[in-house]
A = this chain, B = another copy of it.
Amino acid sequence: MNHFPDSVTLIEVGPRDGFQLETKRIPTDLKAGIICGLMDAGLRRIQVTSFVNPERVPQMADAGEVLRRLPQREDVVFTALALNTKGVERAQGAGLREIEASISASDTHSRKNAGMSLNQAIDQGKEMIRVARKSDMSVTAGIQCAFGCVYEGAIPAKRVLNMAQNFMDAGIDRLSIADTTGMANPLSVSHLLEALMPRELGVPVTLHLHDTRGLGLANVMAAMACGVTHFDTALGGMGGCPFVTAAAGNIATEDTAYLMASMNIETGVNISKVAECSKRLEKFLGKSFPGKMYRLL
């Protein structure tokens, strides 16, 4: 068997990647309550919202208000997502100390979603990093669609490596490689990460996986074998696609934490307490999530 790490960091992204797709508006108090529940469950890095266009993503319109309702704890880091400099500036104004500047590796996806070519998007990414650094914010550079895109199919690993180098040169604190549409598989994960991980990055690499095609935890196994120790996860496996009934979303925090626990890999996450948050949301939203473990607890 491969050598696996002794401990892994799970970064909770449900309050951003999970909530944003829900059409029913989640009250700000409930959002803050869930985030507090996740802190209580041992999660120490939580992506709490995104600073994006509220007309395009109404669920995230209360981004600043969510932040104001959260207690500050020295051992917990809150992050948020931004897609352009305006988002970074709004996050700064709201007092956030860490931002994820997210850019797509797909030219077509970038043009359709952000009205920019790939090269313009890379420049936008570097500009976001510059703006964030000016005010001493920590920055994660997020590369969306790193393993494939519904428009372009597979994305060449070389392109992702080139983008990563660009963002590294601009000065980032973390790098996040995202399988936005669940198109990664153990081979493509190994291929990209075996090329990326031995580089002298000097920053932690996070893998952001979706379970759309059921390969989420198989990809986690492949990634850990390459040395990855940071994974984005969402409570209950929220974050499915709005166009496919009950489509799976992000890999579930409970399931991933259970995988780690079963392999004696430390996460510090109390699975039952995360499941309580999932059930509270499930009740409010009137729907089941794709995660497995939370149902059993």
Interface residues of A (CB under 8 A from B): 1-2, 185-188, 190, 194, 211-215, 217-218, 220-222, 225, 244-248, 252, 255, 258-259, 262-264, 288, 290-293, 295-296
Q: Is A213 in contact with B2, judged by CB distance below 8 angstroms?
A: no
Q: Is B214 in contact with A217, judged by CB distance below 8 angstroms?
A: yes
Q: Is A295 in contact with B245, judged by CB distance below 8 angstroms?
A: yes
**A244-B296, A246-B295, A248-B292 in contact; A262/B214 too (CB < 8 A)?**
no
Please name the residue on chain B nearest to A291 by beta carbon. B214
Q: Is A214 in contact with B255, judged by CB distance below 8 angstroms?
A: yes
Interface centre among A1, A212, A215, A218 (most CB of B within 10 A): A218
Please name the residue on chain B nearest to A190 by beta carbon. B1
Distance between A211 CB and nearest chain B CB, rounded to angstroms: 7
Distance between A287 CB and nearest chain B CB, rounded to angstroms: 11
Q: Is A221 in contact with B186, judged by CB distance below 8 angstroms?
A: yes
Interface centre among A194, A246, A262 (most CB of B within 10 A): A262
Q: Is A215 in contact with B295, judged by CB distance below 8 angstroms?
A: no
**A292-B212, A292-B214, A293-B213 in contact; A185/B244 too (CB < 8 A)?**
no
A255 to B211, CA, bound (A): 11
Distance between A152 CB and nearest chain B CB, rounded to angstroms: 17
Residues in B neighbouring A214, C-beta threshold 8 A: 217, 252, 255, 258-259, 291-293
Inter-chain pairs besides A186-B263, A214-B291, 14 sampled, C-beta below 8 Å: A1-B194, A185-B259, A185-B263, A186-B221, A186-B259, A187-B262, A187-B264, A211-B292, A213-B296, A214-B258, A215-B259, A218-B221, A244-B295, A248-B292
Residue in B248, B252, B259 whose CB lies within 8 Å of A218: B259
Please name the residue on chain B nearest to A211 by beta carbon. B292
Q: Is A247 in contact with B296, judged by CB distance below 8 angstroms?
A: yes
A211 to B244, CA, bound (A): 21
Q: Is B218 in contact with A220, judged by CB distance below 8 angstroms?
A: yes
Please name the residue on chain B nearest to A263 by beta carbon. B187
Please name the residue on chain B nearest to A183 by beta carbon. B262
Residues in B neighbouring A292, C-beta threshold 8 A: 211-214, 247-248, 290
Residues in B neighbouring A213, C-beta threshold 8 A: 255, 258, 292-293, 296
Distance between A46 CB and nearest chain B CB, rounded to angstroms: 21
